[in-house]
Each structure stands twice: as C-alpha cells, then as structure tokens.
Amino acid sequence: MGVPMKLAVLQVIVSIVLSGVFVNEADAKESNVADEVAVTILSSNLANGATIGEWGFSALIEVDGRCVLFDAGNYPDTVLRNAKVLEVDLSCATDVVLSHFHADHTTGLLPLLGDLRAKNPNAMRRIHVAEGFFLSRRQPGTSGDKERNLMIAMREKLEAAGVEFVIYSGATEISPAVWVTGPIERNHPEKNYNRAMKVNIDGEWVEDFVPESQGLTVVTPEGPIVLLGCGHAGSVNLLEQVQRSIQDHSIQALMGGMHLFSADDQTLLWTSDRLRKIGIQNLMAGHCTGIEPLIRLRAGLDLSRRTAVVGAVGSRFVYGEGIHPTAIAQ
C-alpha cells in the first residue's frame, strides 16, 4: 500500500473514531433509559384514610427493580407509618437523595435508618446531596447565633452508623437512568425561599437562597420523570437544567413541592407560561405547592383532572399508566 493510500485509510479511521467519541459524548446523558418506573408519595400536606399528612415531603422511586428514597419527611415517624399503611417496603432503598437541608425533608432520616437496617443491613448506605448542603445557617431575630442547619449535627450520627454522604457539584447519574441534578443555575428570578434566613458562604452571611436545592430525575423513552422537594431554586430553573444536562425532552412527569403556596397571580401566570413551553405531560405537585396554585397550573398547562392532581400521601405515578391519585386528590 502506497503512502497516499495509507494516509487516506488513516484519515477514515480517525474520522470514525472521532465521530464515535462525539456521538458518545452527545448521547452519554441518555445512555441509560428506564423501562419500569413507579413513584409513591409517602409524605405530603394532604392525606386521607389511615395515612397522615404533614408539612413535609418524601417519595419512594422504584426503577427497574431498584429503589431510591427521595427526602424523609418532617416528623420522625410519618414516612414509616404511611409506608406501613400503604404496604410499601422501604428496606430496598440503599440510596437516599435529599433535595435540601430543611427539617421538613430530613427529620425522618434517623428513625428510617434504624427501622430499615433491621430488615436490610445495606439500606440507606448512601445519601446524595448537592454542594452547599452542610453550610451553616442562622435566622436573625429568632434564634440569635443558634445553628439552624440541623443536618450538620445529624451528619455525625448518620456517618457513625455507616452512612456515606456523596456531595455533587453537577448533574450525575447515581444508578442506571437515575440522576441527581446537583445545584441549580438561577437563570430566572424564582425566589422561592425564606429571605430572612442567612447562610454562611466563604465567611460572609448572605441571604439563604438554598444553594444546595436539587432534584431527582429518571430518564425514560418518553422524557424525564422529575421530583423536586420544595423547588427553592425554582421549578423552571430546575427543569431547564434537566433538559440541558440530563435529557433534552418534554417532561414526562413533575412531582413534589413547587413552593407556590403564597405566589401571587403574576408569578403563577409566569410559571404556567414557562412550564407550558418546557412541556409537562403529567403533574402531581403537593407539599408546598398549594392546592389553588395546582389548579391554576392545571388550567395554564392545558392538563386535565387525570393528568394534573394534588400529590397526596399514597398517590402514585406509574410510567406507562399515568397518575393513580387517592380519593381526596381527584
């Protein structure tokens, strides 16, 4: 083979290799896709029957035979009690994702650990959080110098029990088709948080914008299934980041708290308009979303009572089937 022919062959090989690399990079964020997904709400503000409601949030996500617990509720026994009533086995959850440090999403951790480890020694082996989760917090005028981030002290107890905290600075796949978003870019002025709270960043006390606020995403062939805890970073900011960093597709389902319970008409209109452009196929919002805001979002997104309901305790979303609401949420 002459030199020109060798060079031509080499160029073809290099082109194929580079093309493969570029394709892999472009497709890496969607390389794992879930076939079976079910989400069960275990803690939220609305409940009926033998379940109990609270100002808090928690959900179990089942993905192709694996389990992830998202948040842990506000009171020590709420999630455990509701799981028992609903006949949901939480001991399969080796991984826990926490949306942010607030007590209404974390207080149930230690009771859950004790109960689940008795059934499965590998339960709750890892807790996944975003950068900023363990920053010091204060609320001037109410608690003086008292530490408001109770997760700083709880971390020591959990780690002593063998729990590993994994901290993320960006979108990361924690198991096949299951992602954490990591910290959310604040491209829109969604300020869904308590502005009286202060956070210590690099030695300076500033308004606590909840920098560690993150979501959980499950990649499916029909778009991402997304859970948020309170949406302190803003649901629009979060979903746009999901589409940029994890799966560029309309949203198959959005669940959790959106922190719109006190939103004014202008904010609800803006949020509906932005979410409509993003594309939401199913909405099961609860906790701090508020019932009236959920109804307004349903209308603004052109959804129905079948595809947009209050995410009450016991409500389920099953991929391929849709929302299974409880009687009180229909």
* DSSP reduced 3-state for 189: coil
Give me the tens of pLDDT residue by residue for the chain, a chain 330 residues long: 554 444 343 343 333 333 333 222 334 455 799 999 999 999 999 999 999 999 999 999 999 999 999 999 999 999 999 999 999 999 999 999 999 999 999 999 999 999 999 999 999 999 999 999 999 999 987 766 899 999 999 999 999 999 999 999 999 999 999 999 999 999 999 988 888 899 999 999 999 999 999 999 999 999 999 999 999 999 999 999 999 999 999 999 999 999 999 999 999 999 999 999 999 999 999 999 999 999 999 999 999 999 999 999 999 999 999 999 999 987
Nearest to residue 229, comparing CAs of 95, 97, 63? 97
- C-alpha 37/C-alpha 30 separation (Å) is 16
User: Global pTM?
Assistant: 0.90
CA distance between the termini of the chain: 74
Contact 95, 128 (CB under 8 A): yes
- C-alpha 25/C-alpha 210 separation (Å) is 31
Q: Which two tokens stand for residue 318?
A: 């099953």
Q: How many CA atoms lie within 13 A of 301 on its CB side?
A: 31
CA angle (276, 247, 236) in 5-degree steps: 35
Alpha helices in the chain, H assignment, sequence order: 3-27, 78-86, 109-119, 151-160, 235-245, 265-278, 291-300
* DSSP reduced 3-state for 260: coil
CATH of 33-329, one of 3.60.15.10, 3.40.50.300, 3.40.50.880, 3.40.50.620: 3.60.15.10
Q: Which two tokens stand for residue 77?
A: 């026994």
Question: Would you kindly state where each structural domain of the chain is located, as residue ranges?
Answer: 33-329
The pLDDT value recorded for residue 195 is 83
* DSSP reduced 3-state for 314: coil
29 by Cβ neighbours in 10 Å (0-12 / 13-18 / 19+) ranks as middle
Backbone angles phi, psi at 257, to 5 degrees: -95, 135
